[in-house]
Amino acid sequence: MNCIRLASILLLAALLPVTRPALAQAPPPPQADASKPQPPASVHSFDLSAIDKSADPCTDFYQYACGNWMKSNPIPADQVRWGTFSILSERNRYLLWQELDAAAQGPQGPLEKQYGDYFAACMNTGLVEQKGLTPLDPALKRIAGLKSADKMATLIGGLAAEGAGVPLFRFGVGQDEKDSSKQIAQISQAGLSLPDRDYYIVDNKHFQEIRKQYVEHVTKMLILAGDSAEQAAKEAASVLEIETALAKASTSRTDMRQPENRYHIYTVAGFEKLAPDFDFSIYFKDLKVGSFDSLNVATPDFFKAVNELIAREPVEAWKSYLRWHLIHGSANNLPKAFFDESFAFFGKTLAGQQEPTPRWKQCTSMTDRALGEAVGQDWVKKNFPPAAKASMDQLVAALEKSLGDDIGTLPWMSDETKKAAEEKLAMIRNKIGYPEKWRDYSALKVKRDDLIGNLRREEVFARNWNLNHLGKPVDEKEWGMTPPTVNAYYDSSFNDINFPAGILQPPFFDFTIDPAVNFGGIGVVIGHEMTHGFDDEGSHFDGKGNLREWWTPADRKAFTERTDCEVNEYNGFEAAPAHGDTPAAYVNGRLTLGENTADNGGLRIAWQALLDALAEQHKSIDDKIDGFTEAQRYFIGFAQVWCENRSEAITRQLVLIDPHSPGRWRVNGAVQNFDAFGKAFGCRKGQPMFPQNSCRVW
């Protein structure tokens, strides 16, 4: 997995890092000890009881397909969004917990002992309480000992070497976007605690209030760490000042989507000139990264700004910043007082979560992130039958054919570009279920009585694993998601689509149901991932995964006109209403363009694949089951994958950081752009879901 670019994923799991960054990012909201694990409800494909029959599908299809579901499935207190997706994730997490709990109590082999101990250390909150802040003492002492700003690199490198990395920037190894056969060093912006740079920059009452509460929160955390109220307030002000400067120097998420904006090859000497006051040679040495003489600097201006900040800010301010990040980064695994305070701000205020996530869920997810391919080996044996893989292979082949047919008939694309697109499509590789070769975790030392130590060693282990790729041939068999994950992704440098075992079950995929529902579920997901190879970002990469223009200028222009249509359309979709001083929040059509293009393309090509499959079986799209035609069942099956409720706070956060539109617009946006929908439900041309003019890219 490239350290700079995140692959295009199907769904952003709210606040949980799906792919591993080279350095620690802001942690997920903290969690608390709580209730006994319960097996969650099962999810069905095509749920008649979810439908709101009082709604008109031609006016608001999402309300029709999901209205009753939304009414009868309020957000549980420990969640910030709740959808059919979440229920499936919770189910997988429960099954994983069973494995971990059994392994923690009586491991059968060395691998089980390793993940069992990792889990057990996380569950032992009594010991966490007893240890207090002592596990952080060595790192806190190092920070307190910083004498001058020119020793920053030594300090940050030393902390990272011990697994106590402070995320001022992100460094790691990933594929060269212009030569995907090479794995090179890459460095990029980071260093913020709030979810996006907008939280620091946007000047309205909503964000001013959040910033005020953030400073109060930092102050409280530092008081808990032993500082006087006066000292803590001063430190918190420094934290906000440094982070605001970093935010202003950061490239926006939308601009980072354009590959050329994040591709700047520098010699190491040239890079060091960008930030002469931070001695990167010391930092690289501390990380024990192999030798390299050039690297990709995703965000050169950010490093110039870091340098100016190092020169400008007093050393005491930097110590405050580093001290804060160390404590904040460990808050989930410190005594309850830290944990609760961190939850109150990052969980409740920022995301609208009412109660902390139970500890067993937190520890299950943490173990999955750390040792996912160890736990996953046993998990797939129980939960992923070989027949599921065989069915998926068939479905993927059907979708590939359908996308090929679609490309072949596009009226706006020249034969030359069509040929190149077809070549790229033929080169997409498919990975289904779980890795052929599991990651070797034997170098990771786990101690049952040392939670923070385990996290430190795991950080070092994961970083070494990543840095070891430097200069090596690319291993196409590596995965960026663990097997129980309910998600999927496309990676533009690998040019591959990836479907973890976790998603290959209802409501996405059900052996026992009619094909229309499966094509509307997993079929659209497969089409979605394939279309990512041809969205506003993926279309800049060729079949080998190299950033290279393979379009004629006229075709690129025609493509951009089409994507601009989608940008304008989705910009008009309201995500959260205005109230008081708080303005309405809208979908960001540019940030979500790739996902919207993939949703629209996926819905269209899975439909065509369904028509082909029905024709082969001599069945008709108008055949009825339970009072619905196959056509209607296809669209309802698609919509019900996205039934969800979200807290207003998380909605407002996600429109800034999530490249996916909210469920309502993933559904309504895609169906209103596809005439087959209006016809299937007998809508009149001009109704909201069957408009006169619509957008189409693929």
Separation of alpha carbons 649 and 631, rounded Å: 36
Pick between residue 10 and residue 66 the one whose CB is nearest to Zn ion: 10
Is the CB of 10 or the CB of 371 nearer to Zn ion?
Answer: 10
| Cβ atoms within 10 Å, residue 684 | 8
Q: Could you write out the DSSP letters of every residue in 646-682?
A: E-HHHHHHHHHH-SSPPHHHHHHHHHHT-HHHHHHTT
Query: Taking CB positions, which residue lies at the least distance from Zn ion?
Result: 8
Give the whole-angstrom CA distance, residue 259 versus residue 492.
10
**Least separation in angstroms between CB 537 and Zn ion:** 10
Taking the complex as a whole, how short is the minimal distance between the CB of residue 629 and Zn ion, in angstroms?
28
CB of 533 to Zn ion, least distance (A): 11
* 3-class SS letters over 597-645: HHHHHHHHHHHHHHHHHHHHCCCCCCCEECCEEHHHHHHHHHHHCCCEE
In the complex with Zn ion, which residue's Cβ is closer, 68 or 661? 661
- Least separation in angstroms between residue 670's CB and Zn ion is 12
Minimum Å gap between C-beta 8 and Zn ion is: 4
Secondary structure of residue 106 in the 3-state scheme: coil
Q: Nearer to Zn ion by C-beta: 50 or 497?
A: 497
Contact status, residue 529 vs residue 511, Cβ threshold 8 Å: no
Structure tokens at 477: 């068999």
- Tell me the Ramachandran region of residue 589: left when phi exceeds 0, alpha when psi lies from -120 to 50, beta otherwise: alpha
Q: Which residues contact 525 (CB under 8 A, 6 or more apart)?
A: 10, 488, 499, 503, 508, 602, 641
* CA–CA gap between residue 410 and residue 405 (Å, rounded): 9
User: Measured between alpha carbons, how far is 529 from 601 in angstroms, rounded to an integer?
Assistant: 9
Q: Which is nearer to Zn ion, 18 or 501 (CB)?
A: 18
CA distance 488 to 392: 13
| Least distance in angstroms from the C-beta of 657 to Zn ion | 15
CB of 601 to Zn ion, least distance (A): 10
Residue closer to Zn ion (CB basis): 357 or 498: 498
Q: Are 29 and 13 in contact (CB under 8 A)?
A: no
For the record, the structure tokens of 432 come out as 């289904």
Run of H or E residues at 456: helix 451-467
Nearer to Zn ion, 8 or 485 (CB): 8
Nearest-approach distance from CB 7 to Zn ion, in angstroms: 9
Distance, CA of 172 to CA of 325 (rounded, Å): 20
Cβ-Cβ contacts under 8 Å for 349 (sequence gap 6 or more): 210, 213, 217, 649
Helices and strands (H, E) in the chain, number of each type:
28, 16
Closer of 496 and 595 to Zn ion (Cβ): 595
Q: Is 189 helix (H, G, I), strand (E, B) or coil?
A: strand
Nearer to Zn ion, 240 or 575 (CB): 575
Question: CB-wise, 457 or 528, nearer to Zn ion?
Answer: 528
In angstroms, give the least distance from the CB of 490 to Zn ion: 7
Strand pairing of 179-189 and 169-176? antiparallel
Amino acid (1-letter code) at residue 214: Y
- The amino acid sitting at 192 is L
Q: What angle do CA 440, 501, 86 make, to 5 degrees?
A: 115
Closest distance to Zn ion from the beta carbon of 677 (Å): 20
* Rounded Cα distance, 533 and 516, in Å: 25
CB of 481 to Zn ion, least distance (A): 13
Closer residue to Zn ion, CB minimum distance, 10 or 398: 10
Q: How far is the CB of 553 from Zn ion (least distance, A)?
A: 27
Query: Of the two residues 112 and 406, which places its CB atom closer to Zn ion in the complex?
Result: 406
**Residue 25, C-beta contacts closer than 8 angstroms, at least 6 positions apart:** 17, 167, 190
Q: Based on CB atoms, which residue is closest to Zn ion, 8 or 330?
A: 8
Among residues 373 and 595, whose Cβ is nearest to Zn ion? Answer: 595
Q: Cβ distance 596 to 669 under 8 Å?
A: yes
Least distance from Zn ion to the Cβ atom of residue 79, Å: 22
Instruction: List residues near Zn ion by CB under 5 A.
Output: 8, 10, 595, 598
Q: Provide, rounded to whole angstroms, the least separation between the CB of residue 9 and Zn ion.
A: 6
